[in-house]
Amino acid sequence: MISESALQQFRTSLRGQLFTPGEPGYEEARKIHNALIDRRPAVIARCAGVADVISAVNFGRSQSVVVSVRGAGHNVAGISLCDGGLVIDLSAMKGIHVNSATRRARVEPGVTWGELNHDLGAFGLAATGGFVGTTGVAGLTVGGGLGWMVRKHGLALDNLLSADIVTADGQLVVTDSVEHPELFWGIRGGGGNFGIVTSFEFQVHATGTVLAGLALHPASKGMEALRFWRQYESTAPEEMTNGALVFNAPPELPVPDVLRREPIVGIGGVYAGPLEEGERALRPLRAFGPPAADIYQRMPYSAAQTMADFLWPRGIYNYWKSSYLKSLSDGAIETVLEFCAKAPSRRSVVVLEHNGDGAMSRVPEDATAFGHRNWPYNFLVTAAWTDPSDTDINIRWAREFWTAMQPFLADAVYVNYLGEVEEERVRAAYGRKYDRLASLKAKYDPTNFFCMNQNIRPARSASETAAH
Ligand X SMILES: Cc1cc2nc3c(=O)[nH]c(=O)nc-3n(C[C@H](O)[C@H](O)[C@H](O)COP(=O)(O)OP(=O)(O)OC[C@H]3O[C@@H](n4cnc5c(N)ncnc54)[C@H](O)[C@@H]3O)c2cc1C
Is 88 a binding residue for ligand X by CB under 6 A? The answer is no
448: left (phi over 0), alpha (psi -120 to 50) or beta: left
Nearer to ligand X, 32 or 405 (CB): 32
- Strands 349-354 and 125-126: what pairing? unpaired
Is 347 a binding residue for ligand X by CB under 6 A? The answer is no
Is 147 a binding residue for ligand X by CB under 6 A? The answer is yes
Is 207 a binding residue for ligand X by CB under 6 A? The answer is no
Please report how close the Cβ of residue 129 comes to ligand X at its closest, in angstroms: 7
Please report how close the Cβ of residue 331 comes to ligand X at its closest, in angstroms: 26
Nearer to ligand X, 140 or 204 (CB): 140
67 with 35: CB under 8 angstroms? no
Nearer to ligand X, 291 or 356 (CB): 356
Nearer to ligand X, 126 or 132 (CB): 132
Nearer to ligand X, 348 or 416 (CB): 416
Is 68 a binding residue for ligand X by CB under 6 A? The answer is yes
Nearer to ligand X, 293 or 325 (CB): 325
246 with 333: CB under 8 angstroms? no
Q: Which of residues 100-119 bind ligand X (CB under 6 A)?
A: 109
Nearer to ligand X, 14 or 138 (CB): 138
Is 80 a binding residue for ligand X by CB under 6 A? The answer is yes
Is 33 a binding residue for ligand X by CB under 6 A? The answer is yes
Rounded (10°) CA dihedral 383, 384, 390, 393: -10
Is 268 a binding residue for ligand X by CB under 6 A? The answer is no
Segment interacting with ligand X (CB under 6 A) among 139-147, 326-334, 357-365, 425-433: 139-147
102 by Cβ neighbours in 10 Å (0-12 / 13-18 / 19+) ranks as exposed
Give how far the C-alpha of residue 183 lies from the chain's centroid of Cα atoms, to the nearest Å: 21
57: left (phi over 0), alpha (psi -120 to 50) or beta: alpha
Half-sphere exposure of 28 (CA within 13 A, CB side): 6
415 by Cβ neighbours in 10 Å (0-12 / 13-18 / 19+) ranks as buried
Contact string (CB under 6 A) for ligand X, positions 173-192, x = contact: ------------------xx
Nearer to ligand X, 144 or 458 (CB): 144
Q: Which of 179, 198, 177, 178 is nearest to 188 (CA)?
A: 177
Nearer to ligand X, 286 or 425 (CB): 425
- Tell me the C-alpha to C-alpha distance, in Å, between residue 309 and each of 156, 312, 313, 393: 19, 6, 7, 25
Segment interacting with ligand X (CB under 6 A) among 56-64, 120-128, 144-152, 260-268: 144-152
68 with 82: CB under 8 angstroms? yes
Is 72 a binding residue for ligand X by CB under 6 A? The answer is yes
Please report how close the Cβ of residue 292 comes to ligand X at its closest, in angstroms: 25
Interface with ligand X (CB under 6 A), residue total: 36
Is 197 a binding residue for ligand X by CB under 6 A? The answer is yes
Q: 262: how many CB neighbours lie within 10 A of its CB? A: 16
Q: Which of residues 300-339 bind ligand X (CB under 6 A)?
A: 312
Nearest-5° angle of CA 310, CA 231, CA 155?
A: 50
Is 74 a binding residue for ligand X by CB under 6 A? The answer is yes
Is 377 a binding residue for ligand X by CB under 6 A? The answer is no
Single-letter residue type at 356: G
Kindly tell me which residue out of 47, 168, 196, 418 binds ligand X, with binding defined by CB under 6 A.
196
Q: Output phi, psi for 367, to 5 deg.
A: -70, -30
Is 416 a binding residue for ligand X by CB under 6 A? The answer is yes
Note the residues at the interface with ligand X (CB under 6 A).
33, 68-76, 79-80, 90, 109, 130-132, 135-136, 138-140, 142-147, 191-192, 196-197, 312, 416, 452-453
